[in-house]
Amino acid sequence: MSDLPRKAVTRTAKLAALPLGFAGRATWGLGKRIVGESAELVGRELQQRTAEQLFKVLGELKGGAMKFGQALSVFESALPEEVAGPYRAALTKLQEAAPPMPTRTVHSVLAERLGEDWSELFVTFEDKPSAAASIGQVHRAVWHDGREVAVKVQYPGAGEALLSDLSQLSRFARLLGPLIPGMDIKPLIAELKDRVSEELDYGLEAQAQRAHAEEFADDPDVAVPDVVHQCEQVLVTEWMEGIPLSEVIADGTQEQRDRAGQLLARFLFSGPARTGLLHADPHPGNFRLLPGGPDGEGDWRLGVLDFGTVDRLPGGLPTPIGTSLRMTLDGEAEAVYELLSTEGFVKESIELDPDAVLDYLLPIIEPAEVEEFTFTRGWMRSQAARIADPRSPAYQLGKQLNLPPAYLLIHRVTLSTIGVLCQLGATVRLREELEEWLPGFVPQEPLDEEEPAAEA
């Protein structure tokens, strides 16, 4: 039996303790204020205690609670610096590790899915997991043909736990909201629930990973491990060495940060164009920095893992994204407003000032305006503060904009990627990637009309 807490009452009790804990600390903070400690100092202590409890519970529960924590983790750079510190260590820990399943549970799943003689499929199999995530954990092994492999084993009851946690967390969305200024938590949780069934289906994940592995085979910039074997609850893929992106964020050189950032942006925009799929879980735990090209020589490459959550975009990223971005940079307020209205970003019942919409968008797309841009936590915080401050015109306008369902996942992936770039502090030539891969960003030259054929 898994150590993943499966009984609804147990999981609910743990999650229910979160808002109670928040309320208790708020009372503690008020008491400290009464006896004369500064609001800034009290606020900092309050945030640290909140962070410690929140991520301790999320990490213990795995399931949807941990999935929610991972989704939040990429937005850490939006937090004010005095608040971000306590979260950063807890979030990074959450991205790379979690309490493992007992060995007997792992063996039981493997025996059920691969057969009682499952061990004969491997030359070696390490019982201690090398990584753990929200719905499964990864074991290093050597396949019977000598290849080093990663064996992902799904937690028994993971689907039930995911849905239960996310339903419970949605009730606390208002209390969790202040964790990330300017982000509406409830739609994020709703979207995570919608993706649960796909992520639990290792068959879909294997298809997406195979498509990427085939397309990026021998690519000088991006590496994707191929699928070796797949069945229900078990996915075996080629093993990938490399420096986890969380380590690059913590201790990487500036060269590594810049290279990782450039390749992350390249993968985000080139993936849909090349495979018709968007990798939709861009937290640092899913990426590695690999030395050398496919032959071991050349510049750093980006290793990409975990294709459990993807957005299917057969035509690549929607052309209106590139078109509206280009027109915004060109200052075409009326044209941008018309396109946003057509795509459903402005509802028919709402009327906004096109120039105000342009003013709202321009600071956000600053990285696409220049030849290269240095992403920083300070820049991310300034954008979050501008959009989250109720006194700001940007806040009032942002509340009236709409996010059509077709763009929801693309929007979150883009924001998440920007969050990771800011954590890296990377200098990136983003415009170069947009010109190469984003449909509509570079206007199409009109075809010359053919000269009428000369009469014979």
- The half-sphere exposure of 82 on its side-chain side, counting CA atoms within 13 A, is 8
Q: Please state, in angstroms and rounded to a whole number, the distance separating the CA atoms of residues 201 and 140.
A: 21
- Residues 50 and 90: beta-carbon distance below 8 Å: no
Mean pLDDT calculated for residue range 395-420: 86
Q: Please state, in angstroms and rounded to a whole number, the distance separating the CA atoms of residues 298 and 4.
A: 43
- The half-sphere exposure of 187 on its side-chain side, counting CA atoms within 13 A, is 12
Tokens of 431: 């415009």
Q: Please state, in angstroms and rounded to a whole number, the distance separating the CA atoms of residues 74 and 403.
A: 20
Question: Does the residue 31 lie in any domain?
Answer: yes
Q: Please state, in angstroms and rounded to a whole number, the distance separating the CA atoms of residues 369 and 379.
A: 15
Tokens of 240: 């990938």
pLDDT of 156 higher than 80: yes
Please name which of 334, 281, 217 lies closest in space to residue 74, comparing C-alpha atoms.
281
Fill in the amino acid letter for 108: S
Question: Does the residue 190 lie in any domain?
Answer: no
**Long-range contacts from 345-348, C-beta under 8 angstroms, 24+ separation:** 345/401, 345/402, 345/403, 345/404, 345/407, 346/400, 346/401, 346/402, 347/402
Neighbours of 423 (CB within 10 A): 29
Question: Does the residue 423 lie in any domain?
Answer: yes
Question: Does the residue 446 lie in any domain?
Answer: no
Q: Please state, in angstroms and rounded to a whole number, the distance separating the CA atoms of residues 357 and 269.
A: 25
Dihedral sign, CA of 339, 343, 345, 346?
positive
- Residues 257 and 426: beta-carbon distance below 8 Å: yes
- Using one digit for the tens of pLDDT, what is the confidence trace for 81-92? 555 555 555 555
CA angle 25, 56, 62 (to 5 degrees): 135
Mean pLDDT calculated for residue range 365-383: 93
Domain count along the chain: 2
> What is the percent of the chain with per-residue pLDDT over 90, rounded to a whole number?
48
Provide CB contacts within 8 A for 352, sequence distance 6+.
Answer: 337, 346, 397, 400, 401
Question: Does the residue 373 lie in any domain?
Answer: yes
- Using one digit for the tens of pLDDT, what is the confidence trace for 306-362? 998 899 999 899 999 999 999 999 999 999 999 999 999 998 888 999 999 999 999
Q: Please state, in angstroms and rounded to a whole number, the distance separating the CA atoms of residues 31 and 23.
A: 13
- Using one digit for the tens of pLDDT, what is the confidence trace for 64-83? 555 565 555 555 555 555 55
Q: What is the DSSP string of 283-325?
A: -GGGEEEESS-TTS-SS-EEEE---SSEEE-TTSS-HHHHHHH
Provide CB contacts within 8 A for 33, sequence distance 6+.
Answer: 39, 42
Tokens of 397: 């306008």
Q: Which of 24-33, 279-288, 392-401 has the highest mean pLDDT?
A: 279-288
Neighbours of 450 (CB within 10 A): 6
Q: Please state, in angstroms and rounded to a whole number, the distance separating the CA atoms of residues 121 and 90.
A: 37
Question: Does the residue 127 lie in any domain?
Answer: no
Indicate which residue of 281, 299, 355, 359 is catalytic. 281
Mean pLDDT calculated for residue range 415-430: 94
- The half-sphere exposure of 156 on its side-chain side, counting CA atoms within 13 A, is 17
Task: To the nearest 10°, report the CA torsion of 69, 72, 78, 82.
Answer: -10
Question: Does the residue 333 lie in any domain?
Answer: yes
Please name which of 114, 153, 113, 156 lies closest in space to residue 133, comparing C-alpha atoms.
153
Mean pLDDT calculated for residue range 51-59: 57
The pLDDT of residue 388 is 73
The pLDDT of residue 309 is 84
Mean pLDDT calculated for residue range 225-241: 96
Q: Please state, in angstroms and rounded to a whole number, the distance separating the CA atoms of residues 50 and 44.
A: 10
Print the domain residue range for 356. 319-437
- Using one digit for the tens of pLDDT, what is the confidence trace for 108-152? 999 999 999 999 999 999 999 998 766 788 999 999 999 999 999
The pLDDT of residue 316 is 93
The pLDDT of residue 75 is 55
Tokens of 171: 């009730």
More confident residue, 292 or 169: 292
Q: What share of the chain is helix, strand, coil (3-state, %, to 5)?
A: 55, 10, 30
Known catalytic residue at 281: yes
User: Do 36 and 179 lie in a common domain?
Assistant: yes
Task: To the nearest 10°, report the CA torsion of 333, 334, 335, 337.
Answer: 80
